[in-house]
């Protein structure tokens, strides 16, 4: 299945040097959710199947994600330490360097790009 193959490629949440992903559509994920993240998963927006993309990411931590996909919009789901689950919907992963996951005390989520 094409979606599974693409999401599997996207699931390469790694801590490899930047040079290793320079030719790919990679980005750095930054956790500013207000909590540590115990697990991450991703899906193409509009689909149902979540694919795991990583484990723990402490508050303020950064992690590189390498992927290649023709689509741009993805949903990111995080299990937050002591705070349940949060979903960032419609995250644009095209032509970005850093994707910062934000969440306020009321639970509203948003993403900042640079």
Domains and CATH numbers, the chain: 2-113 (2.60.40.2890)
Looking at per-residue confidence, does 111 or 5 come out higher?
111
pLDDT at residue 12 greater than cutoff 80: no
Q: Is a pLDDT exceeding 60 seen at residue 45?
A: yes
pLDDT at 6 over 80: no
Whether the CA torsion 69, 2, 91, 9 is positive or negative: it is: negative
pLDDT at 17 (0 to 100): 37
SS (H, E, C) the chain: CHHHHHHHHHCEEECCCHHHHCCCCCEEEEEECCCCEEEEEEEECCCCCCEEEECCECCCCEEEEECCCCCCEEEEEEEECCCEEEEEEEEECCCCCEEEEEECCCCCEEEEEC
Query: Residue length, the chain?
Result: 114
Q: Looking at per-residue confidence, does 12 or 114 come out higher? A: 114
Average pLDDT, the chain: 80
Q: What is this structure's pTM?
A: 0.75
pLDDT digit string (tens) for 54-102?
Answer: 778 999 999 987 777 788 899 999 999 988 999 999 999 887 889 999 9
Percentage of the chain modeled with pLDDT above 90: 52
């Amino acid at each position: 299945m094409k979606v599974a193959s693409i999401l599997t490629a996207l699931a390469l949440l790694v801590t490899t040097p930047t040079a290793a992903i320079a030719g790919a559509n990679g980005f750095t994920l930054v956790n500013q959710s207000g909590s540590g993240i115990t697990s991450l998963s991703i899906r193409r927006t509009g689909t149902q199947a979540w694919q795991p993309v990583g484990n723990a990411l402490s508050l303020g931590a950064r992690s590189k994600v390498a992927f290649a996909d023709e689509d741009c919009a993805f949903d990111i789901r995080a299990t937050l330490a002591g705070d349940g689950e949060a979903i960032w919907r419609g995250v644009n992963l095209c032509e970005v360097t850093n994707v910062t996951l934000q969440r306020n005390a009321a639970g509203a989520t948003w993403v900042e790009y640079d």
